[in-house]
Structure 1
Amino acid sequence: MTTPVADAPSLEFGHYLSVVRRRWPVVLLGLLLGLGAAFAYVQLATRSVTATAVVRINVISTTPFDATRAASDLIDPRTEEQTAVSSTVMTNAADDLDTTRTPQQIRANTTATLVPDTTVMRISYTANNRADAEAGADAVANQYLNYRTDQADSRLDAIVTKLSDQRDVLRDDLLAANTALANAKKGSGDATQAESDRQLLNLELDSLLSQINTFQGIDTTGGTLLMGSGDNATTISPSRNTLLATGAAFGLILGVLGAFAVASLDRRLRDQYDIRKAGGGEVISELHGRLSSMPSVGDDADEIRSLRERLLAALPAEAQILAVADLTPGSTPSDVAVNLAAAFAGTGRKVNLAMPDVDPDFLAAVIKAFDLKPVNDSSGVRSYQNTLLTVIVPVSGALPLEAGEAFVARSLADPAHLPDLTLIALPPNAERSQLLAAGRLGHSLILVVAKGGTTRKRVERLAEELAAVGATVHGTVLVPRGRRLEQNVDGPVPAELEESDSPAAHRVSAAREPGRRSVHAPVTRRPTKKNRPPT
């Protein structure tokens, strides 16, 4: 009965969700800590704003409309990026901004990136506020374009000046050739030489003038400002929303880990996962009402009847012996064993319910709830019965299950007195020897565990000892912590218990002292929806 079921992974996943649900204050605390840390960092961290300007670089070429090569192929990205942060550009930008920042500080806050396979340059500038960031980005962009223009103008001026000097020399040579041709005798060798020199000089001069005109027609504009920094979105670092989201995520993770850490320190059983891990088998039934009644009503009655059907399917067809070990906190037994016995009797079966060391008030409630009549017995036990249900309790002395064991043994030996089912109900304060004997005698044993009340160690220890004597733990019935009878049954405690020397009898006088409330004192609250008797 303790073998794993097929849905173990889903059971574990449900356990994890249950842990998070139960420990939600820890999860919430972790979330708040994460948000608080992120908020504090946002308030204390230095805020920076980055603005970006976009420029288009003008490729300076003698053939600007030549489509054989892309303009981006004529640009070296690394050179242009270094040019954008050069000393001259930074110095001019510092002068343009008119601030106390040095060119080195401006360079440290500037980033230039050429968009791959294009002639577009993105120039970003970081400052403490948006206005300074936008002003810095625009200033660096403009000074970068101006620098490219100045550099192009300087190079072209040098070329044109050199070509102009060569032109002037050719003009002087052409003048000398024309003079020699005019002074030479027509048809002479000097005249022929002078004419040849004049033609060559004219050709060179035409070519030189063409080059000068070409260079003078080149566009030396460094580029165009496509988008000013004010037209682009600024980036704020650190981002408030991103930091808060990150802090919340880390806080949530911290809270979940904290929930599992706290859960690992909690030694109480709370769900099916805990019970199965402790050796209590599967949860075969769970009662949700904190107030119980005898007989059970509402949803509890349906759960008890469903439990009965599951047990009937698992127990032997004849001479069924079932032990119910109550492991709930305290000394007062729960109603599970009694109501389960009544449920079995409700099917027409004869049921014997052995109750060692029963609480006198609880016994009085059972006797009145099921209209039981006393039956004399000479075997050291006293019986109360109705048509189908017989309750067996000790007459005197503690009952370390010898009486219950003797009754079971005698019933098995005498077929004439053999009931359809024998149920041994062990109270929360039962000794270990009683539990082990009941497990050994019974065909199956059921644990009653209080959710959030029964400790894991208690179930683990009992499961190990039961396994040592060959007992089978059929499963566990889970009940709410602090579950108690909804109302007390007014009436005298059986005289047998009043006169008995058993531990249960000694509790009678304490329970009956003036001004002291019984363990099953009346409850004046209205019946709940689940436990309201049917009309």
Structure 2
Amino acid sequence: MPSPHLAESDSDGPVLMAYLGWLRRRWWILLLAALLGTAGGLAVSQVQQARYTSTTSLLVRPVGAGGGDSNPNAKVNLDTEAQVVRSLVVGERARVLMKSSTPVSELVDSASVNVPPNSQVLQVSYEADSPKQAQAGSHAFAQAYLDLRRATAQASLDSQVKSLQQQITEFTRQLTAAAGKAAAAPANSVERKRAEADQNLLTNNITSLNNRLSPLLSEAVDPGEIISDAPLPDSPSSPNRTLNLASGLGAGLLLGIVLAMVLDRLDTRVRRGRDISDRTGLPLLLELPQKTSAVGVLPATHKISRELGRLRNVLLSTVPPPREAGRGRLLLLCDASSGSAAGFVAANLAAAYARTGQQVALLSTKPDSTLTTITGVTEGRHSLAAVLRRDVPALKALTPVPGLGQLRVLVPGDLEADVELPVAALLEILSELSARFDHVLIETAQPTVAVEAQALGRHVDAVIVVAETGRTRSGEISAALQQFEQVDAPVLGAVLAPRMPASAAPAKPAPTVAKPRPRPSPGPSAGAPSVESTMVLPRMTPSPTGASAGTVKPATAPKPAGQVKPTGQAKPPAPAGPVPVTGSGHGHGSTYRSRGDAGSVDGSGRSYALDSGEDLG
């Protein structure tokens, strides 16, 4: 069936807190990148050759026909003049002034021009290996530019003067010819009058040209002047150590941010509740604080207890009623990854249920569960392993949690980590517990590791996936969700638990030694638990009707706590040989064996077989 839990993108996009979160998580990358960038800037400053720069300031005046005095408001296009300063023509003149053998192109590359705004000033700078070369280069380029500009203006002026003089000479020749014609013509004749008119016109032209020529002959070309000559530099202009360090620091931080972002994208660990809903589409039921120093059953005033109390209220109103009337609700909490997060949440959620006055049972199917440490229940023969071996009935194996009489715990005991638990037997235990308790909470390992987690998921009323902050990956949540969806398990959502301290991490189960374990003898001397420690208050009498689909009904009604068989009835001897895998006497689904049964030929090894018709002390 297609998965209904499809990841949805957030229309709001990433928020500022998300960026601050991954920057805080990857701070060491940013710090290392900043240090490396600063060290790189310092190294560049050390290997760079010292360079000196000197600057000459020029006041540029307009030049041209008619002189600057004829148009005092005229302005020079300094952007164009700046390009002239760095031209090859000026560079060649500057090379001559410097008496240098360096190619002109290299000299031009060492020169630079700055144009201050709203001014008629050019700042010509020159960079060289020594202070004297920098001073000489700056002055040479400034002087070469002025010389070129003066020469160009003078050439233009001379050209205009020459042109005017040629025109005056030509008009004078024509005037002489017209005067000769007038003298030769008869008085009052037409030819004489025409010659006299030509003579007057030529005279006026010559006068006009002389008026234009006179200012040009007296004008002095002034292209500009040096208002601030190049000083001798007293310190190198490059390398700029401050600039290099700042640039290295900035480049390092930028590289660190990019690297931290890439690593954060590749890191699929869940660090906040939003990661679960965004990446897997699984609804988030509760997000607990990211860290906690206490891993036991917390007091009711603790912040985590209050949060789980609110979750309890939500579950009471949203979890559907049990499949069979008169039975308690079954709630399965499984880890999304290895760890003890599910046990921590299950124990404190069970305590929240118990504080309402309801009867609550808590059991774990994890061989490496830390439920004993969390609840403070001492582990003895009263465990799930003992119940599966029929060493003790389920109700007698329950142990109350200190300070919470309504909460009973069934610790896993010495379950085999590499042997699959019998699901039919577990369902029969759950049916017996749900008949006596208002709520039964089951802690399991991740369904990708524990097969019974997936099998039990379809028989409970609700399933909650527990993720651990900073340890569980989104892929593990998706894999667990897929396992439950394959059996149509009622998955409500996920709970993000705090990062469990290292001391709370489940220890690796020690290898089990194949050592025969005799079954206890019936009777009070067999070490049966006392009535005070195992008594369970009755709930509601189960309905006489059969269990609904998916619920395994016990073969016989459980006997009251503390009741034992008469000592005169001896237990039939166990068959010599391997215990059959499939049950036949009671119609149960299977018999669970541990490694202790492998080498047993006399029936004294451990056999996890649930027979509800047999009551042991």
**Which residue in the other structure is 1:521 paired with?**
none
Amino acid at match of 2:320: P
CA contact 2:371–2:411 (8 Å) conserved in 1 = no
Matched with 1:282 is 284
Shift of the alpha carbon at 1:21?
2.0
SS at match of 1:136: helix
Distance 1:408 1:388, change over 3 A: same
Q: Counterpart amino acid of 1:478? A: A
Match of 2:398 in 1: 383
Match of 1:423 among 441, 456, 461: 441
Match of 2:361 among 340, 352, 355: 352
Q: What residue in structure 1 maps to residue 43 of structure 2? A: 40
Report the equivalent of 2:311.
307
- Cα 1:230–1:395 change in 2 (3 A) is closer
Higher relative contact order (CA 8 A, sep 6+): 1
Mapped partners of 1:379, 1:426: distance in 2: 18
Q: How does 1:81-160 map to 2 (within 5 A)?
A: 81-82=83-84, 85=87, 87=89, 89-101=90-102, 103=104, 105-110=106-111, 120=120, 122=122, 124-128=124-128, 132-153=133-154, 156=157
Once the two structures are overlaid, the 10-residue window that deviates more, 360-369 or 466-475, is: 360-369
Aligned to 2:461: 443
- Write the letter of the residue equivalent to 1:419: F
User: How far is the alpha carbon of 1:347 from its aligned partner?
Assistant: 1.0
Q: Distance in 1 between matches of 2:66 and 2:374?
A: 113
Q: How is 1:383-402 mapped onto 2 (pairs within 5 angstroms)?
A: 383-385=398-400, 387-392=405-410, 400-402=422-424
SS of residue paired to 1:464: helix
* Structure that is richer in helix per residue: 1
The residue aligned with 1:528 is none
The Cα shift of 1:221 comes to: 1.6
Q: 1:362 to 1:462 in 2, by over 3 A?
A: closer
Contact 2:331 2:463 in 1 (8 A): yes
**SS of aligned partner of 1:445:** strand
Is contact 2:347–2:371 with CA below 8 Å preserved after alignment?
no
Q: Give the whole-Å Cα distance in 2 for the aligned partners of 1:393 and 1:63.
A: 109
Q: 1:368 to 1:113 in 2, by over 3 A?
A: closer
Give the superposition deviation at 1:344: 0.4
After TM superposition, give the deviation of residue 214 of structure 1 in Å: 2.4
Q: Which residue of 1 aligns with 2:331?
A: 322
Is 1:56 the equivalent of 2:56? Answer: no
The alignment partner of 1:441 has SS state of coil
Aligned equivalent of 1:514: none
How far apart are the structure 1 equivalents of 2:276 and 2:157?
90
1 CA distance for matches of 2:408 and 2:280?
34
Query: What stretches of structure 1 of length at least 5 have no aligned partner?
Result: 182-186, 487-493, 507-535
Q: Secondary structure at the match of 1:406?
A: helix
Give unpaired runs (5+ residues) of structure 2. 323-327, 506-525, 530-591, 598-617
The answer for the alignment partner of 2:548 in structure 1 is none
**Closer, same or farther in 2 for the Cα pair 1:7/1:296, shift >3 Å?**
farther
- For residues 288 and 16 of structure 2, the distance between their equivalents in structure 1, rounded to whole angstroms, comes to 20
What does residue 587 of structure 2 align with? none
Q: Which AA in structure 1 matches 2:478? A: E
CA distance in 2 between counterparts of 1:310 and 1:355 reads: 23
In 2, the alpha carbon distance for the partners of 1:30 and 1:421 equals 54
1:320 alignment partner AA:
R
1:163, CA displacement in angstroms? 7.5
TM-score, normalised on structure 2? Answer: 0.59
Q: Offset at 1:142?
A: 2.6
- Confirm or deny that 1:477 pairs with 2:481: no
C-alpha contact (below 8 Å) 2:377/2:409 kept by paired residues: no
CA distance in 2, matches of 1:151, 1:431: 92
Structure 2 SS opposite 1:338:
helix
Alignment-derived partner of residue 577 in structure 2: none
1:333-344 aligned at under 5 Å gives the runs: 334-344=343-353
Q: Which residue of 1 aligns with 2:214?
A: 213
Higher mean displacement: 305-314 or 378-387: 378-387
Aligned AA (1:57): R
Q: Give SS of 2:452's match.
A: helix
Alpha-carbon spacing, 1:311–1:52, altered in 2? closer, same or farther (3 Å): farther
| Structure 1 residue 153 displacement after superposition | 4.5
Q: By how many angstroms is 1:284 displaced?
A: 1.1
Indicate the larger mover: 104-113 or 314-323: 104-113
CA change 1:381–1:102 in 2 (3 A) is: same
User: Deviation at 1:444?
Assistant: 1.8
Aligned partner letter, 1:382: A
**Count of matched residue pairs:** 469
Pair 1:137–1:440, CA change in 2 (3 A): same
Displacement of 1:468: 0.9
> Per-residue CA shift, 1:350-381, capped at 9, x if unaligned?
22223346779954874659xxx999974686
**Matches of 2:288 and 2:8, distance apart in 1:** 18
1:19 corresponds to 2:34: no
* Inter-partner Cα distance in structure 1 for 2:335 and 2:44: 54
Match of 2:551 in 1: none
Mapped to 2, the partners of 1:102 and 1:377 lie a distance apart of 103
Provide the residue aligned with 1:510 in structure 2.
Answer: none
1:232-251 aligned at under 5 Å gives the runs: 243-251=244-252
Give the C-alpha shift of residue 466 in structure 1.
0.7
The 5 A counterparts of 1:171-210 are 210=211
Higher mean displacement: 328-337 or 344-353 = 328-337
Tell me how far apart the structure 2 counterparts of residues 99 and 240 of structure 1 sit (CA, whole Å): 31
* Cα separation, partners in 2 of 1:205 and 1:446, compared to 1, 3 Å: closer
Cα 1:155/1:396, change in 2 over 3 Å = closer
**Matching residue of 1:523:** none
Give the residue type in structure 1 aligned to 2:459: L
Query: 1: distance between equivalents of 2:423 and 2:223?
Result: 105
Is 1:405 the counterpart of 2:427 in the alignment? Answer: yes
1:447-503 CA-partner distances (Å, limit 9, x unpaired)? 3333333455543322211111112142123122335569xxxxxxx9679xxx997
Q: Tell me the CA shift for residue 52 of structure 1.
A: 5.7
- Residue range with higher mean Cα deviation, 91-100 or 433-442: 91-100
The answer on whether the counterparts of 1:332 and 1:359 sit within 8 Å (CA) in structure 2 is: no
Q: Could you say what secondary structure the match of 1:452 adopts?
A: coil
The answer to whether the Cα contact below 8 Å between 1:354 and 1:404 also exists between their aligned partners in 2 is no
Q: Which amino acid aligns with 1:446?
A: I
Distance (whole Å) between structure 2 residues aligned to residue 467 and residue 12 of structure 1: 32
User: Counterpart in 2 of 1:524?
Assistant: none
d(CA) in 2 for partners of 1:65 and 1:110?
A: 32
Of residues 202-211 and 28-37 in structure 1, the stretch that sits farther from structure 2 once superposed is: 202-211
Rounded to whole Å, the distance in 2 between the matches of 1:380 and 1:226 is: 106
**Are the aligned partners of 1:293 and 1:335 in contact in 2 as well (CA < 8 Å)?**
yes
* CA spacing shift, 1:66–1:210, aligned 2, 3 Å: closer
Letter paired with 2:482: E
Cross-structure match for 1:257: 258
1:505-524 correspondence to structure 2 within 5 Å: none
Q: Is the 8 A contact 1:356 1:394 kept in 2?
A: yes
Instruction: Classify the secondary structure of the residue corresponding to 1:335.
Output: helix
- Alignment partner, residue 570 of structure 2: none
For 2:164 and 2:121, the matched residues in 1 are separated by 34
Give the distance between the partners of 2:156 and 2:411, measured in 1 at CA.
118
Could you tell me whether the CA contact under 8 Å between 1:54 and 1:121 is conserved in 2?
A: yes
Q: Report how far residue 440 of structure 1 moved.
A: 1.5
Report the secondary structure of 1:388's partner residue.
strand
Match of 2:295 in 1: 292
- State the SS of the aligned residue for 2:258: helix
